Structure 1
Amino acid sequence: MGEEASTVYHLFDWITVGSLNLGFSFLVDPLSALMLLIITGIGFLIHLYSCGYMASDESFGRFFSYLNLFIFFMLLLVMGSNYLIMFIGWEGVGLCSYLLIGFWYKNTSYANAAKKAFVMNRIGDLGFLIAMFVLIAVFGTLEYKEVFAKASQFPMGDATLLLITLLLFVAATGKSAQIPLFTWLPDAMAGPTPVSALIHAATMVTAGIYMIIRSNILFTLSPLTLQIIAAIGVATALIAAFIAMTQNDIKKVLAYSTVSQLGYMFLGLGVGAFTAAFFHVLTHAFFKALLFLGAGSVIHAMHHEQDMRKMGGLKKYLPITFMTMLIGTVAIAGIPPLSGFFSKDEILAFAFAQSPLFWGLGFVGALFTAFYMFRMLYITFYGDFRGTTEQEQHLHESPMVMTLPLIVLAVLSLIGGIINLPSVLGGGQWLANFLSPIYEYSVSRASEVHLEHSTEYILMAASAIAAIIMAILAYQKYVKKQDLPQEDGAQQGSLHKLSYHKLYIDEIYDALVVKPLNGLSKVLYKAIDKGLIDAIVNGVGDIIHASGRGIRQLQSGYVGFYIIMMVLGVAAIVLYGILNM
């Protein structure tokens, strides 16, 4: 990173062991500056929204203390000048995620969801920890500048860099919810809706993408890792989108949508489009935070009802929420000229340049996205109201403190695409130029797509037209034909059943991992803990107790007994003296 583009603020020397010297210092450069704007900007809007959403909650103060602690750790994560500071923030946001998901801990299922998120993140974090040990062993430091400068001297495909990048990617799969560690994020919807918007849409789940972009030179020199990232990313995008097609909980739809969009970001990283992936991080922060807060506004109006089958016709009761969510839906569906179109299309263009197969799979995922998002919009806001009479009487638009953040995010979702408008559309690719200093050591800066303009136009048109067609198909099915999901969750066909039951992935994990571990724990508890350790501890106690019970007889309190013992003692002393004369 050039001196003119980055500044390191050294606070103090922290760890000095042998030749290893780690300082507590912050790095401010184009990448961290943009992340700071996202975290504090979106964070401010969500804080403002939370003032209205959480106003009646008895733990209002506790909620905001957790929320601000999260912001602190997230800022630490992106501002650190070395991997250790990043890791502190990394673990800190994991802790805050646990506290916020399980905020209403008296509900057992919510507490279990928090534990699930915490444990699955720890699996990924182990990869980060081992990666740091390897970095110290190989480079003798964890400072970004020193690591990247030394790494740039390594040959392409070096085995050591392959190991480091694979370990870092394992960490990213946990935090950024990729296969196989993605099942915690849909369950994380147990937390209050502002938590879902902040942590599980705009900031924490993008930490893995940030870490890979920050370490771009390591990954650029490990093409095999990039291929794995692309494959995992596109698979996650497809699977999550497929599951979202039939979900009836409004927040679950958005949760699987988040997993799917994160998959697109990883696809971008895997094909070397680091800037395009970050562009999608940026636009996704706008429209996904908007969609989650809009869903929160609906839930607030429906008195905490999240089942879309019990909604309908809310357009006339919640006009601001409807208009803003419509903008968010159009943006995430990739319909021009909203922000999501430009960022998603740039990733797909890079994918096409590297592998038409990746483009094809990403394109199918985009079709799914457009369909399930408009499905959610139509079921919630169109048709007749399907809730109770009491709910209908209390339907009302959210207060200004909640709708103002929606309006601001809607505007950002509308115009956010201009940040990195492609040259084929007359744009100057401002974001790519702004971020170029962070690719100083990279073999390829990956800021431009090397495709013919005619090819780019065809790809853009295909993506946009397909998204519009899917929106029309969803309208025909859910508005015109009123073909709504069944109240009892009845399924229609094996594919529908697979999607509705989330591909039975949780059940598979339960059978292959959870139950065997529980069984092993019970065996170890009975054989080792109770049979061996407890037996030794209790045996020692029993021996001491039995000996104490015998010796206790010597302290009987009878004077005659003491006189006899005294006489016997004197006799023993005299006898000892005679024998030794």
Structure 2
Amino acid sequence: MGEILLPLLISCPLAASLVIFASAGRMGAGGIGTVACAGVGISAILGIVLSIMLLSGHVTGMVQVTLWPWLHVAGFSADIAFTLDRVSLIMTLVVTIVGLLIHIYATAYMRDDPGIARFFGSMTLFVAAMLVLVLASDLLCLFVGWEGVGLCSYLLIGFWYDDPANTAAARKAFYMTRMGDVALLCGLLLLATATGSLHIQSVLAAVADGQVAPSGVSMAALFILTGALAKSAQIPFQTWLPDAMAGPTPTSALIHAATMVTAGIYLIARLHGLFAMAVPVMALMAVLGALTLLMGACTALVQSDLKRILAWSTISQLGYMFLALGCGAWQAALFHLMTHACFKALLFLTAGAVIMRARHEQDIFRLGGLRHAMPGLTAAFVAGASALAGLPLVTAGFYSKEMILSGVWPVHFRLPHGWGLSGHALWGIALLGAFLTALYIFRCVFIVFCGKAGTATTDRTSRLMTVPLGCLSVLSLCGGVIEMPDTFPSLHLFSAFLDPTAIPSHANGSAWPVLAGAAAPLAGLGVAWVLWGRPSPVMREIPGQAAIIRPVRTGQGTDALYDYLFVQPFRLLAWLTRLDILDHAISGTGRLTRAGSARIFMARTSFLNMLASWATCMIRWADRLLGQFQNGRVRWYAAWIAGGLCAGLALVVLS
């Protein structure tokens, strides 16, 4: 039964996409939305059915299906095959359920857009490509889905292509992620060369058995990490994600919550056995995750655009997941991925509804007092903000962040040459990030929904938009109680689901780290209320006119640095190539060489002619001189003989 349902899980959104594209806009907006929601909805139902079968024991371990062989050459094979196990099941449920709620929301949000067929065709294709990525049992098949989500993100970010800024943002996302894709492909080629297969289980088994040299494991892990960093917008590839806000709000929610940016997290969690053998790469991953979460939180704190605040928040939360993966707590990373998908989709969809009713105004300082005009949207946004901040006990984000913090604290990396890295420092950065997260998101809440009224608002929010917001609000608040910290009553349903044979311990036995993790977001909330929440706030805006703040706010600082280091040298090389400067230089060198050779030849010829002329003159002069001596007069000959004899005698006497 599972072997039949698994291909259908992927085929339904793919078929919906083909139907929508084939209709070429001949269907109405309602029909297009229905087809798209039906395709994703059937996949969600099939995912739930398969999860019930897996949990009830009707399916033992995993569901595997091979559709057809792809490549079979000497020493290497690859198949179009899919596997549903406990790890991929979590991602499948996240992609299909959250994706379905986003599609339902989008039917109302995009109903008046003339390009609705193109939009929903790309959205359903996006879901299908993500399911291929998640369910692939072969890394080469996974790479197909990996490239598919990259293509769909390009189409959706540049959906409103009439604006050059949107197409520029789409190209930027495409180029940045392609650099990571090249690195990922290099890593896959290394593994294929070393193991003769890209089947995930075979690769992990070969690495565990020592069939791959440690240097090969480290290089492959580093290449794969680079691909994951680019796809998930981590340092130094973070610049494309804020500009991805150029697409429609449902696109932003789908990219940031359930699909593309989580692909890198899933890939590393899927290959955690490979990365566990490369400790330096794990340490690098943890450090980059810690730096990214701190940088994203600080940057979000100075933003004024509502959607860009949420975009930088996504970068920061993905940094938490990479920190957990680098510390070996891949279960915690997947748990935070699941809760993050719920509350980040809720925040983006709520922000889209707010922006729509506020006449497309996105500047938080031009909004204000919206809690009176939009009480329902205010409640939904506060629920999502509380989950993002990780307010203790009442939000899902608290439990997933506590699982990450508990997994980071006891880690210690033993690096080559006697170097080491303690998890305590990384834990401190993560705790500071939790404080900053609460500070910037409740800054946004207090400025947008409290205080004096700003932009005038329009009519009520569509019911099709409010239903997904209600469902996501419940998941954002209650979805984390399936995994409790060890200091709480023992409840580890998520860990037990991932590994039924063992329940890992996430704490060091002390309660104070959990208390610190609970106090940090509360402190951030308190500071945000003092600064922006009171009737007479201390400040309305963090000073943004300073030269050091403005590049951070607009995101142009990193772009300018990359432009100076990479883009301009490449443009210079392209300019030299286009103008054939190199060819002209070679030709000019040849001409100069030929001219120099001719000049040297002429100088040599003149010098030799001059030497010959001088030799002739000398010979003629010597001939005339000898002619004077040989004149036939005997007395001259006798005189010369006598003179020579006297000279010889004088030399003898003097010596």
TM-score (normalizing by structure 1): 0.85
Given the alignment of the two structures, is residue 192 of structure 1 paired with residue 248 of structure 2, yes or no?
A: yes
Aligned partner of 2:437 among 360, 366, 369: 369
In the TM superposition, residue 472 of structure 1 has moved relative to its aligned partner by: 1.9
Separation (CA, whole Å) in 2 of partners of 1:289 and 1:254:
10
Deviations 1:415-455 (A, max 9, x none): 11122223431133111121127xx9xxxx89322511xx2
In the TM superposition, residue 485 of structure 1 has moved relative to its aligned partner by: 4.7
**Counterpart residue number, 2:629:** none
Given the alignment of the two structures, is residue 406 of structure 1 paired with residue 469 of structure 2, yes or no?
A: yes
Amino acid in the other structure paired with 1:401 = L
Separation (CA, whole Å) in 1 of partners of 2:316 and 2:583:
46
**Counterpart residue number, 2:492:** 429
Q: Write the mapping of 1:156-167 to structure 2, written as runs, cut at 5 A.
A: 158-167=214-223
> Conserved in 2, the CA contact under 8 Å of 1:189 and 1:255?
yes
Aligned partner of 2:69 among 13, 20, 35: 13
Deviations 1:295-345 (A, max 9, x none): 001111012111111100111111111101101111111111210001111
**Counterpart residue number, 2:280:** 224
Amino acid in the other structure paired with 1:374 = F
> Conserved in 2, the CA contact under 8 Å of 1:348 and 1:359?
yes
| Structure 2 gaps, min length 5 | 1-56, 412-422, 587-655
Indicate the larger mover: 404-413 or 425-434: 425-434
> Conserved in 2, the CA contact under 8 Å of 1:177 and 1:183?
yes
> Conserved in 2, the CA contact under 8 Å of 1:320 and 1:397?
no
**Counterpart residue number, 1:479:** 533
* Matched-pair identity in %: 40
**Counterpart residue number, 2:337:** 281
**Counterpart residue number, 2:170:** 114
In the TM superposition, residue 522 of structure 1 has moved relative to its aligned partner by: 1.4
CA RMSD, Structure 1 to Structure 2 (Å):
2.3
**Counterpart residue number, 2:505:** 448
Given the alignment of the two structures, is residue 500 of structure 1 paired with residue 540 of structure 2, yes or no?
A: no
**Counterpart residue number, 1:347:** 404
Separation (CA, whole Å) in 1 of partners of 2:345 and 2:566:
33
Deviations 1:465-506 (A, max 9, x none): 2211211221221132345556xx963667645643548111
Mark the CA change 1:529 to 1:88 in structure 2 (over 3 Å): closer, same or farther.
farther
SS at match of 1:424: coil
> Conserved in 2, the CA contact under 8 Å of 1:6 and 1:30?
yes
**Counterpart residue number, 1:463:** 517
Separation (CA, whole Å) in 2 of partners of 1:40 and 1:532:
59
Aligned partner of 2:579 among 526, 541, 552: 526
Separation (CA, whole Å) in 2 of partners of 1:499 and 1:241:
12
Q: Say which structure, 1 or 2, has more relative contact order (CA 8 Å, 6+ apart).
A: 1
Residues matched between the structures, number: 517
Separation (CA, whole Å) in 2 of partners of 1:359 and 1:21:
43
Separation (CA, whole Å) in 1 of partners of 2:279 and 2:556:
31
Q: Write the mapping of 1:144-159 to structure 2, written as runs, cut at 5 A.
A: 144-154=200-210, 158-159=214-215
In the TM superposition, residue 8 of structure 1 has moved relative to its aligned partner by: 1.3
| Structure 1 gaps, min length 5 | 534-581
Mark the CA change 1:155 to 1:495 in structure 2 (over 3 Å): closer, same or farther.
farther
Separation (CA, whole Å) in 1 of partners of 2:465 and 2:276:
43
**Counterpart residue number, 1:549:** none
TM-score (normalizing by structure 2): 0.76
In the TM superposition, residue 157 of structure 1 has moved relative to its aligned partner by: 8.9
> Conserved in 1, the CA contact under 8 Å of 2:79 and 2:141?
no
Separation (CA, whole Å) in 1 of partners of 2:585 and 2:140:
40
> Conserved in 1, the CA contact under 8 Å of 2:275 and 2:281?
yes
**Counterpart residue number, 2:359:** 303
In the TM superposition, residue 373 of structure 1 has moved relative to its aligned partner by: 0.3
Mark the CA change 1:206 to 1:412 in structure 2 (over 3 Å): closer, same or farther.
same
**Counterpart residue number, 1:385:** 453
> Conserved in 1, the CA contact under 8 Å of 2:286 and 2:322?
yes
Separation (CA, whole Å) in 1 of partners of 2:120 and 2:157:
13
**Counterpart residue number, 2:132:** 76
Q: Which runs of 4+ in 1 moved over 6 A?
A: 529-533
Separation (CA, whole Å) in 1 of partners of 2:494 and 2:256:
24
> Conserved in 2, the CA contact under 8 Å of 1:318 and 1:396?
no
> Conserved in 2, the CA contact under 8 Å of 1:125 and 1:171?
yes
**Counterpart residue number, 1:550:** none
Separation (CA, whole Å) in 1 of partners of 2:478 and 2:228:
29
Separation (CA, whole Å) in 1 of partners of 2:358 and 2:575:
44
**Counterpart residue number, 1:577:** none
Mark the CA change 1:311 to 1:211 in structure 2 (over 3 Å): closer, same or farther.
same
**Counterpart residue number, 2:372:** 316
Given the alignment of the two structures, is residue 202 of structure 1 paired with residue 270 of structure 2, yes or no?
A: no
> Conserved in 1, the CA contact under 8 Å of 2:62 and 2:85?
yes
> Conserved in 2, the CA contact under 8 Å of 1:46 and 1:405?
yes
Deviations 1:542-573 (A, max 9, x none): xxxxxxxxxxxxxxxxxxxxxxxxxxxxxxxx
Deviations 1:190-224 (A, max 9, x none): 00001110112222101001000110110111111
Q: Write the mapping of 1:560-571 to structure 2, written as runs, cut at 5 A.
A: none
Separation (CA, whole Å) in 1 of partners of 2:503 and 2:579:
57
SS at match of 1:25: strand
SS at match of 2:442: helix
Aligned partner of 2:544 among 491, 496, 500: 491
> Conserved in 2, the CA contact under 8 Å of 1:199 and 1:205?
yes
> Conserved in 1, the CA contact under 8 Å of 2:291 and 2:319?
yes
Separation (CA, whole Å) in 1 of partners of 2:139 and 2:238:
24
Amino acid in the other structure paired with 1:523 = L
> Conserved in 1, the CA contact under 8 Å of 2:239 and 2:555?
no
In the TM superposition, residue 346 of structure 1 has moved relative to its aligned partner by: 1.1
Deviations 1:527-547 (A, max 9, x none): 2699699xxxxxxxxxxxxxx
> Conserved in 2, the CA contact under 8 Å of 1:157 and 1:222?
no
Amino acid in the other structure paired with 1:515 = Q
In the TM superposition, residue 519 of structure 1 has moved relative to its aligned partner by: 2.2
In the TM superposition, residue 13 of structure 1 has moved relative to its aligned partner by: 1.1
SS at match of 1:10: strand
> Conserved in 1, the CA contact under 8 Å of 2:108 and 2:464?
yes
> Conserved in 2, the CA contact under 8 Å of 1:291 and 1:328?
yes
SS at match of 2:60: coil
In the TM superposition, residue 62 of structure 1 has moved relative to its aligned partner by: 0.9
Indicate the larger mover: 113-122 or 140-149: 140-149
Amino acid in the other structure paired with 2:521 = A
Q: Which has the larger radius of gyration?
A: 2
Mark the CA change 1:493 to 1:531 in structure 2 (over 3 Å): closer, same or farther.
closer
SS at match of 1:26: strand
> Conserved in 2, the CA contact under 8 Å of 1:227 and 1:271?
yes
Separation (CA, whole Å) in 1 of partners of 2:503 and 2:277:
13
